[in-house]
């Protein structure tokens, strides 16, 4: 069974549990405050086929630094890019319009592809976090790439930020949005009007660029 990643957003004003799938394939469960985890899991399981149909639907992304998609299920292909068992100059996994996996890694191809994504995430997301922090005039204590199941990013009370390695599969404007979201918590810990104002002020130019 395919694992589903989702974020839970609880609100005291909400009376009904709903599930949404955004254009970037993130799955959000909106639930009344106090909803047990088990109830959320049951709701997600009940809508599993609908969610999978949404998150695997082909979408056109622009400004994509790295290939998107789910982790490879078999040795033949990924949802968007072909995987070939082939020698490479580096002896490691390479991407050139398709994934090239050396024969020495064939038996553990799922693991090496994941390692490839994690390495790209560390290179791209952490560097981008530093740049956006400077632009926002904030400083974080540390930044890490983690394997989290339900969250794309987080900011702790000790001013550490972390990001899900799977975020590297998203288009760049989504990566930037998640980073700004977490960095904004360094200025405003809660999801207040001021917090969303900070996020909107930084992301509005990207939205105009997408429309153009």
**What are the structural domains of the chain?**
7-55 (no CATH), 111-211 (3.30.2010.10)
| DSSP assignments along the chain, one per residue | ------EEEEETT--S-EEEE-TT--EEEEEETT--HHHHHHHHHHTHHHHHHHHTS----SS-SS--SPPPSSSSB-SSSBEEE---SSSS-EESSSEEE-GGGGGGHHHHHHHHHHHHHHHHHHHHHHHHHHHHT---SEEEEE--SS-SEEE-TTSEEEEEGGGGGS-HHHHHHHHHHHHHTTT-SS--HHHHHHHHHHHHHHHHHHH-
Tens of pLDDT along the chain (212 residues)? 455 677 788 888 888 899 888 766 778 888 898 888 889 888 988 888 888 777 766 543 344 444 544 333 333 334 445 677 788 888 888 877 677 888 888 777 778 888 888 998 999 999 999 999 999 999 999 999 998 877 899 999 899 999 999 888 888 888 899 999 999 999 999 999 999 999 988 886 554 444 44
């Amino acid at each position: 069974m395919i694992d589903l990643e989702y974020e839970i957003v609880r609100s005291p004003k909400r009376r009904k549990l709903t599930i949404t799938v955004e254009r970037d394939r993130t799955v959000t469960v909106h639930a009344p405050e106090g909803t047990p985890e088990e109830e959320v899991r049951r709701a997600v399981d009940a809508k599993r086929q609908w969610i999978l149909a949404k998150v695997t639907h082909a979408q056109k992304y622009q400004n994509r630094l790295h290939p998107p998609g789910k982790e490879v299920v078999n040795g033949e292909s990924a949802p968007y890019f072909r995987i070939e068992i082939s020698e490479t100059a580096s002896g490691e996994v390479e991407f050139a319009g398709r994934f090239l996996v050396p024969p020495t890694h064939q038996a553990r191809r799922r693991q090496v592809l994941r390692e490839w994504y994690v390495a790209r995430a560390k290179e791209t997301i952490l560097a981008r976090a530093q740049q956006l922090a400077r632009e926002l005039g904030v400083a974080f204590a540390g930044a890490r790439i983690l394997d989290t199941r339900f969250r794309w990013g987080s900011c702790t009370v000790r001013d550490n930020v972390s990001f899900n390695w799977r975020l590297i599969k998203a288009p760049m404007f989504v990566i930037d949005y998640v980073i700004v979201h977490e960095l904004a918590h360094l200025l405003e810990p809660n999801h207040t009007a001021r917090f969303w104002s900070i996020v909107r002020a930084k992301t509005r130019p990207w939205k105009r660029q997408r429309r153009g």
